[in-house]
């Protein structure tokens, strides 16, 4: 997470600073996927970004290229070119030229049930290192969203193909945080579950190659109590020795702490010290470990979202010494953003048994370090951005001098990777490979300050997108992403993009016919920070930009943004927009320079769900929104201000079973007809909310999980309604069936949550933004 935005300072319109930061880049179910019906469209085509230049890293060649969030990384022990990464929601990827400046990445997991990867390890009993196990787990910074937890993935051919292993069903629904395979014995740790009870979390073990699993936690004679198991790590010099961290054991008459097994997870002994155990409680945010080859073990404990203690054992857990907690000025630690629950990495040096590397979330600005106003950069270690925050600590040095920045002043070129570290490994060439919310990075010469950080994202195609737009003037897709900015495509169908706004991306919108040869795009960061209008020509050149003031008129409530604030553009006028604040609904007739409160007390559902439809050719003032208490109320305005938003008391989706309203779309040219989807059902009104039809039909036969976004596709005499989902891709129904006979739309779309849809009538294409595999485009037939 971070906040700056970027506009090319070389542009004549760009000031040197605009309050925030400016930069160099412009501005499956457990069986194979369901057969897909190509009756409306052919194959979905990936759009990217893969990668996006000008990301929120610093001086990282080439061009600060970023990808999406990657949670785990695996380096071949003897081949520095062979790397594997497990993305947060984008599957497992492999490169065979990982030492190149811009590696090529491939995935073979688009057909498995989910791309949410929580852990990954080689099986050390395979001397050729071709056997790999991965644990499925949801670790997205975007509310931990993802597809169903299906268990484990297993490859015996170096990642060329994968199969699902669910332990006879026992591992379904479990969030795997660590894995240790040893031939037919597989041990996993689980930190959360769909049914989050002590019987479903902790440590589980199989002795028959994964065919069946049993819970080790609670088992008589195992020595391991029930509780949350944040991590599971192996001793590289002793394959039989494992470590795990357990908290909340006190709730089931157990004891928290670090536990060690010397028989591949069959039995366990608590080896933590009283100091460690005093820190590890049921309120502990995270507890991660690393083990070196010389009986040296390290532990990082986080409480309240921040690193609370760093410890070293030189005798395999027999005794522990607390190390310095890495800090900069004003004792600012490695988690200024308070995100240690998933953004904490730790790595033991393979040759220097007193050195450990730790990573946190983001860099602090000067005010957080106790320096005078204004809050700004550079901070005390030379950071110019909210980039990565990592340290090297050496237990051989005197206390208070043990930890040194691994970024900025701790490098040759003041370099840093993206923020939000997740895991680190050493490659076979002695470099650190680190993964975070911006992808994959290499740190050369990690033991001193002569090395630098390099992006090795290459063409890695992972990106968590919650909003997608398409500028038909330039044929350009642009999106809002989780922690990977608001990137825009370089050229039509180009998988290389550039970052416009950096931070957690906001909602996007476009008026492609704002003026002859000019389109208007809207972007923002989290909380509607850096809300910006940008104007583009048909060749995707930035013409000018403006930061609307969002001045509230008429004594309305002060505007408060949501994490992802809905911004809906009126198709009749690009300067007419509706904004869904955290406290009210606002309307603007000048693109946000001034806004008027029109829905006091009504909150439009936000944070990636934007159910608002505004304006039509036959009625520019029509407005539909979904939100209010519980998020399942439907509101309508049919006339111009000051006509109020009025709740439709007949809306049949206003039941707890349907949860919140997900999306609303107006039939073009017929403002009284709108389509609404909730979590599980689809509805239509043809009289502006007075009466309703249920169009759900057979949509649940596709096991879609959660329905998400909608699009309306006009077709002469047989229009089409399109709805996206978490578990079944994109579905459609034709008007000739009453919009109730649902089919799968297109082919070759990965098994990934589809968060947003944008239909471009001029080009007859549908653009989908996915949570993990970027943007995809479908040419309709």
Cβ atoms within 10 Å, residue 497 = 32
Residues 501 and 551 in one domain: yes
Nearest 5°: the CA angle 317, 323, 326 is 135
Q: Is the bond leading into 642 cis (omega within 30 degrees of zero)?
A: yes
- Note whether residue 128 is domain-resident: yes
Look at residues 405, 429, 455 and tell me which one is the last residue of a structural domain. Answer: 455
Residues 230 and 283 in one domain: yes
pLDDT digits 0-9 by tens, 558-590: 999 999 999 999 999 999 999 999 999 999 999
Residues 65 and 146 in one domain: yes
- Note whether residue 186 is domain-resident: yes
Look at residues 429, 455, 481 and tell me which one is the last residue of a structural domain. Answer: 455
Residues 402 and 513 in one domain: no
| Residue 160 to residue 158: CA distance in whole angstroms | 6
- Note whether residue 27 is domain-resident: no
- Note whether residue 405 is domain-resident: yes
Q: Which residues contact 731 (CB under 8 A, 6 or more apart)?
A: 699, 702, 704, 722, 723, 724, 725, 742, 743, 744, 745
pLDDT at 16: 21
Q: CATH code at 391?
A: 2.130.10.10
- Note whether residue 570 is domain-resident: yes
**Count of domains for the chain:** 2
pLDDT at 49: 97
- Note whether residue 409 is domain-resident: yes
- Note whether residue 330 is domain-resident: yes
Predicted structure pTM score: 0.94
* Average pLDDT over every residue of 174-197: 98
Mean pLDDT over all residues of the chain?
93
Burial of 183 (C-beta count, 10 Å sphere; 0-12/13-18/19+): middle
* Average pLDDT over every residue of 729-738: 97
Least confident of 16-25, 227-236, 529-538: 16-25
pLDDT digits 0-9 by tens, 232-272: 999 999 999 999 999 999 999 999 999 999 999 999 999 99
| Residue 343 to residue 333: CA distance in whole angstroms | 13
| Residue 277 to residue 255: CA distance in whole angstroms | 8
pLDDT at 432: 98
Look at residues 434, 455, 476 and tell me which one is the last residue of a structural domain. Answer: 455
Residues 104 and 187 in one domain: yes
Residues 609 and 744 in one domain: yes
- Note whether residue 498 is domain-resident: yes
Give the residue numbers spanning the domain of 491.
465-779
Residues 492 and 446 in one domain: no
Residues 95 and 150 in one domain: yes
| Residue 247 to residue 276: CA distance in whole angstroms | 11
pLDDT at 503: 83
In the structure encoding, which two tokens stand for residue 609, read together? 């769900």
Residues 515 and 418 in one domain: no
pLDDT at 665: 98
pLDDT digits 0-9 by tens, 267-293: 999 999 999 999 999 999 999 999 999
Residues 510 and 541 in one domain: yes
Does residue 11 carry a pLDDT above 90?
A: no
pLDDT digits 0-9 by tens, 131-166: 999 999 999 999 999 999 999 999 999 999 999 999
pLDDT digits 0-9 by tens, 44-90: 999 999 999 999 999 999 999 999 999 999 999 999 999 999 999 99
């Amino acid at each position: 997470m971070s906040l700056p935005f970027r506009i090319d300072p070389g542009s004549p319109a760009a000031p040197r600073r605009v309050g925030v930061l400016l930069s160099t880049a412009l501005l499956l179910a457990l069986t194979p996927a369901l057969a897909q019906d190509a009756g409306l469209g052919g194959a979905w085509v990936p759009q990217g970004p893969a990668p996006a230049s000008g990301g929120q890293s610093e001086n990282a060649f080439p061009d600060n290229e970023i990808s999406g969030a990657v949670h785990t990384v695996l380096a071949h022990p003897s081949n520095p070119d062979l790397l594997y990464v497990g993305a947060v929601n984008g599957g497992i990827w492999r490169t065979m030229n990982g030492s190149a400046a811009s590696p090529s990445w491939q995935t073979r997991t688009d057909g498995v049930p989910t791309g949410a990867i929580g852990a990954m390890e080689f099986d050390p009993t395979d001397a050729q290192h071709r056997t790999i196990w991965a644990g499925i787990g949801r670790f997205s910074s975007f509310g931990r969203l993802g597809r169903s937890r299906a268990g484990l993935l297993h490859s015996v051919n170096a990642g060329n193909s994968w199969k699902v292993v669910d332990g006879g069903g026992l591992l379904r629904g479990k969030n795997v945080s660590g894995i240790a395979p040893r031939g037919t014995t597989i041990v996993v740790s689980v930190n959360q579950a769909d049914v989050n009870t002590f019987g479903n979390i902790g440590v589980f073990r199989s002795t028959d190659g994964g065919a069946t699993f049993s819970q080790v936690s609670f088992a008589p004679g195992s020595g391991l109590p029930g509780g949350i198991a944040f991590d599971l790590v192996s001793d590289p010099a002793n394959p039989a020795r494992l470590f795990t961290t357990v908290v909340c054991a006190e709730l089931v008459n157990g004891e928290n702490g670090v536990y060690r097994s010397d028989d591949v997870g069959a039995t366990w002994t608590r080896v933590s010290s009283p100091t460690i155990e005093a820190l590890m409680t049921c309120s502990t945010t995270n507890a991660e470990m690393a083990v070196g080859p010389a009986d040296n073990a390290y532990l990082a404990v986080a409480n309240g979202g921040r690193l609370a203690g760093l410890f070293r054992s030189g005798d395999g857990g027999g005794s522990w010494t607390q190390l310095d907690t890495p800090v900069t000025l004003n004792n600012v630690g490695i988690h200024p953003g308070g995100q240690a629950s998933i953004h904490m990495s730790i790595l033991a040096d393979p040759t220097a048994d007193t050195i450990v590397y730790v990573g946190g979330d983001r860099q602090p600005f000067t005010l957080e370090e106790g320096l005078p106003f204004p809050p700004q950069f550079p901070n005390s270690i030379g950071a110019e951005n909210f980039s990565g925050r990592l340290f090297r600590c050496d237990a051989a040095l005197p206390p208070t001098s043990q930890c040194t920045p691994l970024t900025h002043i701790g490098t040759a070129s003041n370099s840093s990777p993206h923020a939000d570290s997740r895991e680190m490994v050493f490659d076979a060439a002695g470099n650190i490979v680190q993964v975070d919310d911006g992808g994959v990075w290499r740190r050369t010469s990690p033991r001193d300050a002569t090395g630098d950080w390099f992006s090795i994202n290459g063409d890695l195609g992972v990106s968590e997108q919650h909003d997608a737009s398409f500028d038909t003037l330039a044929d350009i897709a642009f999106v809002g992403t989780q922690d990977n900015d608001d990137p825009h495509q370089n050229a039509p169908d180009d998988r290389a993009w550039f970052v416009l706004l950096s931070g957690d991306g906001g909602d996007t919108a476009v008026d492609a016919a704002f003026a002859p040869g000019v389109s208007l795009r809207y972007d923002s960061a989290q909380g509607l920070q850096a809300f910006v209008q940008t104007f583009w020509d048909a060749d995707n050149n930035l013409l000018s930009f403006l930061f609307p003031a969002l001045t509230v008129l008429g004594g309305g409530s002060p505007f408060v943004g949501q994490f992802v604030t809905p911004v809906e553009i009126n198709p009749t006028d690009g300067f007419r927009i509706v904004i869904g604040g955290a406290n009210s609904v606002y309307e603007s007739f000048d693109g946000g320079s001034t806004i008027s409160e029109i829905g006091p007390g009504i909150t439009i559902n936000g944070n990636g769900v934007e159910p608002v439809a505004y304006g039509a050719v036959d009625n520019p003032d029509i407005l539909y929104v979904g939100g209010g208490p519980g998020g399942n109320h439907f509101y309508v305005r049919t006339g111009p201000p000051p006509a109020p938003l009025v709740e439709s008391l007949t809306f049949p989706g206003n039941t707890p079973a349907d949860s919140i309203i997900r999306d609303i779309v107006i039939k073009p040219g017929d403002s009284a007809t709108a389509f609404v989807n909730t979590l599980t059902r689809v509805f239509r009104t043809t009289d502006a909310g007075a009466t309703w039809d249920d169009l759900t039909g057979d949509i649940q036969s596709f096991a879609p999980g959660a329905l998400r976004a909608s699009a309306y596709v006009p077709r002469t005499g047989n229009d089409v309604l399109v709805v996206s989902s978490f578990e079944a891709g994109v579905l459609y129904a034709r008007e000739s069936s009453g919009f109730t006979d649902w089919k799968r739309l297109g082919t070759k779309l990965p098994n990934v949550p589809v968060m947003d849809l944008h239909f471009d009538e001029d080009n007859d294409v549908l653009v989908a933004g996915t949570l993990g595999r970027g943007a995809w485009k479908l040419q309709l037939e």
